[in-house]
A and B are shown apart, each in its own frame.
Chain A
Amino acid sequence: MKYVLLAVTALVTLAAAVLLGPADVPLGDIVASPIVWQLRLPRAVLAFLVGGALGVSGVGLQALVRNPLADPFLLGLSGGAGLGAVAAIALNLPGPWALPLAAFVGAVGAMALVYRLGLIGGAELDPRVLLLAGVAVGAFAAAVTTALVSLAEATELRNAFLWLWGGFSGASWTTVLVFVVYAPLPLVVLAAAARPLDLLALGEEPARYLGADVRTLKRLVYLAASLLTAAAVAVAGVIGFVGLIVPHLCRLVWGRLHRTLFPTAFLAGGILLAAADTLARTVVAPRELPVGIVTALLGVPVFAFLLRRWTVS
């Protein structure tokens, strides 16, 4: 029943995202309108996919570092992406895709660095080492970014931060296609890790005794979740909060088994972000709100409600 409700909500959200918008498109013209076909539909699909990816990646990382505060961007990814984006503007890299590509390269660079630090001295991606390395790399990237912004002459640099705060203005069928081609591999890797991740929740030693290859598991989950997040940053900037709260939300409703957590987090993340983007586009029309603000405004009350029910029962 709960699954049916989730699926129906997903469909309703996507339909609303296509039907509602700041521009007035009469119902009869919806099929023919380029505004709907070239802007709204790809934007709704992209928001759903990115939300889903962030939800799944949040589930994976929270399981990996066994810390409820983990968020896909915690491990230095947002700092790296920011550095990449600002560098692209400061160096005036040409081409319409320079900014997202540079952000992706920055995010992957930060990920590689944190990964390497997480293996230092046989630490084997110890959660504590990973978290510290993530914070350190993130802080370093942020410092370099700020130095670039204050030293470079380009007046556009301040706008790089606007981009970084996240949004779906860059959505088109091209970005959807890139994401659809890219995302399945890390998603499949994470889904395949569902059972061993359940074991990992018992602790590393017990998981090993129960037959999980903890070493490989942690590496694969870390790489897959981070690569998924890096792609999300490249197409939509840093949209916080979805990857933090959706896993908790799903755990409250569906329990702790990763076999159900991954698909439900994908759908719930997609619903949250697609709905948030629809509101961002419509509530203050003709103006638009940054989508990150709406995700928090929408997600926190739902989360507070569930938390209350959960602690009461």
Chain B
Amino acid sequence: MRRWAHRTHLVGLLTLAVAACAEKERPASKGGIAVTDDAGRRVTLAAPAQRIVSLLPSFTELLFAIGAGDRLVGRTAWCDYPPEALAVPSVGDGMPPNVEAVAARRPDLVVLYHSGQNVPAAEQFERLGIRTVLLDLNLLEDLGPAARRLGVLTARRPAADSLARVMDSVASQPPAPSTRSLAFIVWDNPPIVIGAGSYLDRLATLAGARNVFHDISSPSAQVAIETIAARDPEFVAVLSDSTGAPRYAARPEWQVVRAVQRRRFLFLPGQLFGRPGPRVAEAVRELRRRLGTAP
């Protein structure tokens, strides 16, 4: 019995392998479309995706920006831009994806962020016969390629390519000469700051501000308050929709950091600054404006 089950399994695998080979041999000839995603998987669709579930706010924004927003049938609880996105049914917070809730939307394409826990989730979707695409979206440079591939999968190539060109040109801009310095403090105890390997560091550079923790290569890192005090940033950038000083601003140990003591906070709304997206140029302009008007 057991052996038999084994054998059918093998046969199934073989059929799959053969099917995969066959698919590879006829790429995109009969109106089919294909892209390679960031997990190195070949994603093929017989026809442009018509029912899409986006599992990252940035993808939702990108899809709307290339004119494929009307094909969204599912989004995460965090997808709040553009406002039309709120009309799309939510499938939960997306981390990790609720496979059942997504499948219930009967999508023909699920767009996932390429992370460790999303790779097995994508396999689960594929087993249910739902096509998936895993895309990186950590850096400014990831935006253009992501937009192009979403354009191919939705047959919105012209719009996607022109958007991608805009984002690529932002990404290839030389850094503006930095006149101001700042630190992004995303948590206070323990203090976590944003380092060079992040989208925010890049935004700051483009807006003409120097991230005082640019020498830390990872996206974020724990540091001591005394390190922040010694680097003495002019501003502390806070990702927050409200403009009330963060809770730690009133704590005695933080008064050694001059920017905190003088309440020099830059409040950056998470919707615009918290994630890489098609509005990157707007984010750079907005940050530059805030730095310019700050006393």
Contact surface of A with B, Cβ cutoff 8 Å: 21-24, 34-35, 38-40, 42, 94-99, 153, 156, 159, 162-163, 167, 169-174, 281, 285-290
Given contacts A162-B190, A167-B190, A286-B223, 12 further A-B contacts (CB under 8 A): A22-B223, A23-B229, A35-B256, A42-B253, A96-B247, A96-B249, A159-B187, A169-B189, A281-B224, A287-B222, A288-B221, A288-B227
CB distance from B163 to the nearest CB of A (A): 27
Give the docked Cα–Cα distance between A229 and B256 (Å).
29
Supposing A22-B224, A38-B255 touch, asked if A153 and B230 sit within 8 A by C-beta, the answer is no
Chain B, interface residues (CB within 8 Å), range = 20 to 34
Contact surface of B with A, Cβ cutoff 8 Å: 77, 186-192, 213, 215-216, 221-227, 229-231, 247-253, 255-256
Is the CB–CB distance between A169 and B191 below 8 Å? yes
Is the CB–CB distance between A153 and B77 below 8 Å? yes
Give the docked Cα–Cα distance between A40 and B189 (Å).
16
Q: How many A-B residue pairs have CB under 8 A?
A: 97
Nearest 8 pairs of A and B residues by beta carbon: A23-B230, A172-B253, A172-B252, A96-B250, A159-B187, A96-B251, A22-B227, A23-B226
Cβ-neighbour of B224 out of A38, A174, A288 (below 8 A):
A288
Is the CB–CB distance between A288 and B190 below 8 Å? yes
Is the CB–CB distance between B190 and A38 below 8 Å? no
For B221, list chain A residues within 8 Å (CB).
Answer: 286-288
Give the docked Cα–Cα distance between A24 and B231 (Å).
10
CB distance from B212 to the nearest CB of A (A): 10
Is the CB–CB distance between A39 and B229 below 8 Å? yes
Is the CB–CB distance between A290 and B190 below 8 Å? yes
B77's nearest neighbour on chain A, judged by CB, is A153
B249's nearest neighbour on chain A, judged by CB, is A96
Q: Is the interface of A mostly helix, strand, loop or mixed?
A: loop
Give the docked Cα–Cα distance between A171 and B223 (Å).
14
Give the docked Cα–Cα distance between A163 and B192 (Å).
11
Give the docked Cα–Cα distance between A288 and B193 (Å).
11
For A42, list chain B residues within 8 Å (CB).
Answer: 253
CB distance from B31 to the nearest CB of A (A): 42
Give the docked Cα–Cα distance between A209 and B216 (Å).
64
Give the docked Cα–Cα distance between A205 and B117 (Å).
56
CB distance from A153 to the nearest CB of B (A): 7
Give the docked Cα–Cα distance between A97 and B188 (Å).
12
Is the CB–CB distance between B192 and A22 below 8 Å? no
Supposing A22-B224, A286-B216 touch, asked if A99 and B252 sit within 8 A by C-beta, the answer is no
CB distance from A67 to the nearest CB of B (A): 32
Give the docked Cα–Cα distance between A58 and B287 (Å).
51
Which of B213, B222, B225 has the most chain A CB atoms closer than 10 A to its own CB? B225
Supposing A159-B187, A167-B189 touch, asked if A23 and B227 sit within 8 A by C-beta, the answer is yes
For B215, list chain A residues within 8 Å (CB).
Answer: 286
| 12 pairs, CB–CB < 8 Å, chain A vs chain B | A23-B230, A38-B252, A98-B247, A99-B189, A159-B192, A162-B190, A169-B189, A169-B190, A170-B253, A285-B227, A287-B222, A288-B222
Give the docked Cα–Cα distance between A173 and B251 (Å).
11
Is the CB–CB distance between A169 and B225 below 8 Å? yes
Is the CB–CB distance between A287 and B187 below 8 Å? no
For A171, list chain B residues within 8 Å (CB).
Answer: 253
Give the docked Cα–Cα distance between A170 and B252 (Å).
9
For A23, list chain B residues within 8 Å (CB).
Answer: 224, 226-227, 229-230
For B188, list chain A residues within 8 Å (CB).
Answer: 169
Give the docked Cα–Cα distance between A171 and B226 (Å).
12
For A285, list chain B residues within 8 Å (CB).
Answer: 224, 227
CB distance from A89 to the nearest CB of B (A): 10
Give the docked Cα–Cα distance between A285 and B228 (Å).
12
Is the CB–CB distance between B226 and A40 below 8 Å? yes
Give the docked Cα–Cα distance between A167 and B187 (Å).
13
A163's nearest neighbour on chain B, judged by CB, is B189
Is the CB–CB distance between B226 and A287 below 8 Å? no
Supposing A22-B223, A159-B192, A167-B190 touch, asked if A172 and B229 sit within 8 A by C-beta, the answer is no
For B226, list chain A residues within 8 Å (CB).
Answer: 21-23, 35, 39-40, 281
B252's nearest neighbour on chain A, judged by CB, is A172
CB distance from A87 to the nearest CB of B (A): 15
Is the CB–CB distance between A162 and B187 below 8 Å? yes
For B255, list chain A residues within 8 Å (CB).
Answer: 38
Give the docked Cα–Cα distance between A97 and B213 (Å).
27
A291's nearest neighbour on chain B, judged by CB, is B190
CB distance from B227 to the nearest CB of A (A): 5
B250's nearest neighbour on chain A, judged by CB, is A96
For A94, list chain B residues within 8 Å (CB).
Answer: 247
Give the docked Cα–Cα distance between A159 and B251 (Å).
18
For A167, list chain B residues within 8 Å (CB).
Answer: 189-190
B261's nearest neighbour on chain A, judged by CB, is A34
For B190, list chain A residues within 8 Å (CB).
Answer: 162-163, 167, 169, 288, 290
